[in-house]
Amino acid sequence: MGELRLMKGNEAVAEAAIRAGADGYFGYPITPQSEVMEYLMAEKPHERTGMVVLQAESELAAINMVYGGAACGKKVMTSSSSPGISLMQEGISYIAGAELPCLLVNVVRGGPGLGTIQPAQSDYFQSVKGGGHGDYRLITLAPASVQEMSDFVRLGFELAFKYRNPAMILSDGAIGQMMEKVELFDPVPRSKEILPWATTGKTPDRERNIITSLDLDPKRQEDFNLKLQKKYREIEEKEVRFEKIQCDDAEYLFVAYGTSSRVVQKAVQLARSRGIRVGLFRPITLWPFPSKEIFAMTEQVKGILSVEMSAGQMVEDIRLAVKGKIKVDYYGRMGGIIPTPDEVVEMLEKKIIGG
Amino acid sequence: MTEEIIIAGFGGQGVLSMGKILCYSGVMEGKEVSWMPSYGPEMRGGTANVTVIISDERISSPILNTYDTAIILNQQSMDKFEKTVKPGGMLIYDGNGITRHPERKDITIYRVDAAEEAARMKSNKVFNMIVLGGFLKIKPLLKMENVHRGLEKSLPERYHHLISLNEEAIKRGMEIIQEVYQPA
């Protein structure tokens, strides 16, 4: 068993980055995720593993430092919260276009604009549909506990390098700020391997490596896009992750991720104490979305309620997955308010069972 | 066993660290725990609160709107959280600065005058540990040896010489807590 600690979600991300053998972290402070960099600065991993931790002058600088580090084949990451992630979108699109691995962490707060510093899930579209320009996808992992904040740092890096694609941990202010028990994984040393595609200086035995997202030849640019799309189909085929809770005998279904899924677990207990057979389907990867697995549930359940801390974003993907076979509705709160289990059960009764 | 607790008071009273020590002690006892603070502008406004859950099972929602126990350390928190105690639950409060005492008739009410006791012990910093002691007397969820280990884990090493003072404060809290009201 790994070392047990009581940690904030943000601290778990930072500790996991050191343990995963990250080469660099570049960031700019913003509530509610500032503890990521604070923890790294206090730990001074450079003295132990050589990991660079740098506070950039802005989010734009941070994401472009990530771009540069990733181009050298290094294990690099950044973290921010909603408005900061918006500032990074140009760089994220370039990184995806240059097929580079990196880890991005968004500890989401309410928007739009500067919004609020309280938790929200209103950056779902931005993460899974592409907040930057062009036909690209981010592998998007949604942790529902401090444990998963730690575990998904390792998983995110693994997937990013496996597919040479940026991976995003889409968390929120509640999971970032709360403390839970975490079993930390054992540290791995930083990799010394020189990746064949990385721009590490040309040696006589190979051609130049070029990292770019620019190609002005339409044919080559289309071929490149087709190659990207092929990679995305492969990820959709192989990397879907989800959890089903009390779904075996369920007549109705909640779909929720992250903090909402925690509230909904309590709602499931509450509803079942009133004789309503309801389960929870928790997507862990938001892209690739578990569409097939949700469609399969339509054989069993009569209706689905998507519970989100947004105006209803994931519900669109659930509707696409269900193809009109059963009723799908949404309930959520915004502006930093977290729905209560009572509210959620009431809305299931009103919108799905009674509706 | 699942115990859902809100601890609420002024910033600086050690509300968040009391919750953290309770959670770490729970971890040492092999329990599941969660610690969900209020953060941001709320804290800057002078009030601080934290939701602590200690359970034998996987914890569902870390955010709650009703609690088994409310530990209330100022009047604003009394106004906000007295009504959130589940029927049959309990409320613990420090009488210092309280102008409107709890009025619920369906919960058990205890008073622990920790501010006064801390002054007597000549250490304002152990205020929160006196309160914690009061709570652990009424709800002995955790063994004292695990509370000791929780303190060791929560406090940076440079403060480890203060652990015995903190334990003394916990004992004082256990002695001074008084039942004020018990529903029939």
pLDDT for B97 beyond 90? no
Q: Residue A267: how many CB atoms within 10 A of its CB?
A: 30
Q: How many domains does chain B have?
A: 1
Domain limits for position B27: 2-181
Cα nearest neighbour of A269 on chain B: B60
Q: Does residue B65 belong to the interface with chain A, where contact is any CB pair within 8 Å?
A: yes
Query: What pLDDT does residue A39 have?
Result: 98
pLDDT band at B30; cut points 50, 70, 90: very high
Closest-CA residue to A171 (of A228, A238, A123, A235): A123
Q: Residue A247: how many CB atoms within 10 A of its CB?
A: 18
Inter-residue contact A260 to A121 (CB < 8 Å): yes
pLDDT for B44 beyond 70? no
Interface test with B, best of A1, A3, A5, A6 (most B CBs within 10 A): A6
CA distance readout (Å), B156 to B123, B150, B162: 19, 12, 10
**Chain A residues with CB inside 8 Å of B59's CB?**
180, 262
A vs B: CB pairs below 8 A: 64
Indicate the residue type of A285: T
Region of A54 (left: φ > 0; alpha: ψ -120 to 50; beta: rest) is: beta
Closest-CA residue to A280 (of A345, A354, A236, A332): A345
Compute the distance between CA of residue A25 and CA of residue A53 in angstroms, rounded to an integer.
5
Cα nearest neighbour of A280 on chain B: B60
Residue bearing tokens 């496996």: A162
pLDDT in tens, B167-181: 999 999 999 999 999
- Mind telling me how many Å the CA of A319 is from chain B's nearest CA? 26
Inter-chain residue contact B34 with A179, CB threshold 8 Å: yes
Compute the distance between CA of residue B107 and CA of residue B90 in angstroms, rounded to an integer.
5
Q: Does residue B98 belong to the interface with chain A, where contact is any CB pair within 8 Å?
A: no
Using DSSP bridges, classify how beta strands A252-255 and A52-55 pair: parallel, antiparallel or unpaired: unpaired
pLDDT band at B40; cut points 50, 70, 90: low
What is the phi/psi pair of residue A80, to 5°? -160, -170
pLDDT for B45 beyond 80? no
- Mind telling me how many Å the CA of A4 is from chain B's nearest CA? 8
Select from A32, A181, A268 the Cβ nearest to the Cβ of B39: A32
ipTM (interface pTM): 0.91
pLDDT in tens, B119-138: 999 998 999 999 999 999 99
DSSP-H helix ranges across A44-145: 59-71, 82-87, 89-97, 124-128
pLDDT in tens, A283-338: 999 999 999 999 999 999 999 999 999 999 999 999 999 999 999 999 999 999 99
Closest-CA residue to A245 (of B16, B60, B153): B60
Inter-chain residue contact A6 with B33, CB threshold 8 Å: yes
What is the phi/psi pair of residue A119, to 5°? -65, 150
**Chain B residues with CB inside 8 Å of A118's CB?**
40
DSSP 8-state assignment for residue A340: P
Query: What pLDDT does residue B28 have?
Result: 94
Cα nearest neighbour of B64 on chain A: A340
pLDDT for B41 beyond 80? no
CATH number at residue B22: 3.40.920.10
pLDDT in tens, B65-83: 999 999 999 999 999 999 9
Inter-chain residue contact B33 with A181, CB threshold 8 Å: yes
Query: What pLDDT does residue A129 have?
Result: 95
Inter-chain residue contact B63 with A174, CB threshold 8 Å: yes
- Mind telling me how many Å the CA of A174 is from chain B's nearest CA? 7
Q: Which stretches of chain A drop beneath a pLDDT of 50?
A: none
Query: What pLDDT does residue B42 have?
Result: 57
> Do the two domains A4-201+227-238 and A243-353 of this chain adopt the same fold?
yes
Query: What pLDDT does residue A1 have?
Result: 76
Closest-CA residue to A82 (of A27, A121, A53, A128): A121
pLDDT for B43 beyond 60? no
Inter-chain residue contact B153 with A177, CB threshold 8 Å: no
Structure tokens at B115: 């501010």
Q: Does residue B41 belong to the interface with chain A, where contact is any CB pair within 8 Å?
A: yes
Query: What pLDDT does residue A2 have?
Result: 84
**Chain A residues with CB inside 8 Å of B49's CB?**
none
What's the CATH fold of domain A243-353? Rossmann fold (3.40.50)
Closest-CA residue to A288 (of A144, A145, A139, A176): A139
Structure tokens at A165: 């694609």
**Chain B residues with CB inside 8 Å of A263's CB?**
60-61, 63
What's the CATH fold of domain A4-201+227-238? Rossmann fold (3.40.50)
Inter-residue contact B150 to B24 (CB < 8 Å): yes
Inter-residue contact A156 to A78 (CB < 8 Å): no
Domain residue ranges in chain A? 4-201+227-238, 243-353
Write the DSSP string, A268-310.
Answer: HHHHHHTT--EEEEEESEEES--HHHHHHHTTT-SEEEEEESS
Q: Residue B58: how many CB atoms within 10 A of its CB?
A: 9
